[in-house]
Amino acid sequence: MNRIDVLGVEFDDMDIVEAVELAMGFMDERRCAYAVTPNPEIVLASRKNRKLASAVRAADMVLADGVGVIYASRILGTPIKNRIPGIDFASALMARMSECGKKVFLLGAKPGVAELAGERLSERYPGLDICGVNDGYFEEEDNELVLEKINAQSPDLVLVCLGAPKQEIWMKNNAELLNAGLMIGLGGALDVYAGVVERAPRKWRKLGLEWLYRLIREPRRIKRMIKLPGILFAALWRRIGG
């Protein structure tokens, strides 16, 4: 498979159709593979957080989420062709899974949100079996209970929406303990599926301006976003041999 290095994170450069096929294959293997969708924030954080870097490195699928990653890959002279926002990948995958009645477990977000997301997803993908949900604010000592709850359903897919870097590290630490086909780390996706948070309109997304739309809707994200051009400077520095 074609993997492209962007500042230490190795991305799989594939389109969404190939990604869905690969994911369906992982589900059949049932060894609890996991997918990550790093955005510039995760790429930058991986350079400082060794646990996050190791969790991303061990992932079975690494998809580029965010225009910043694409621009950085171009600056580095090894362009990634396909940007796949994690939520688009998960939606395409669930559409495919609904054709064959596969099971999804939703893990993450504030209490009540995963239930709501489950209801909305069942309406959108009638053939999909939402086999269980759990919020993302459980204590470390309750982790085993969460694992038991998931394993009792033996889902084909687990959406792990605990925010970065928690979700990537959780997937790496728990993959071997889970009876599931595939996990995907998806950040705030359950909030979007539940309708609690609105996604940017299609035009904004096409222009790669989803980040700006989110910033306008949630100005408190400025503290996180102000660091993002850092990925371009880091790529430039690497390219000129710094």
Residues 164, 180, 182, 184: which binds ligand UDP (CB under 6 A)? 164
Residue 192 CA, distance from chain mean position: 13
For residues 168 to 187, the per-residue mask of contacts with ligand UDP, x marking binding by CB under 6 A and - elsewhere, is -------------------x
* 45 token code pair: 């954080």
Contact status: 108 vs ligand UDP (CB under 6 A)? yes
Phi/psi region, residue 32 (left: phi>0; alpha: psi -120 to 50; beta: rest), is: left
* 95 token code pair: 């559409």
Cβ of residue 232: shortest distance to ligand UDP, in angstroms?
19
Residues 115, 122, 153, 163: which binds ligand UDP (CB under 6 A)? 163
* 11 token code pair: 């991305």
Contact status: 136 vs ligand UDP (CB under 6 A)? yes
Q: How many residues bind ligand UDP (CB under 6 A)?
A: 14
Cα separation, 222 vs 205, whole angstroms? 19
* 73 token code pair: 């890959």
Contact status: 66 vs ligand UDP (CB under 6 A)? no
* 168 token code pair: 């990537």
* 59 token code pair: 């992932």
Of all residues in the shown chain, the one whose CB is closest to ligand UDP is: 136
Residues engaged in binding ligand UDP (CB under 6 A): 108-110, 136-137, 161-164, 166, 187-188, 190-191
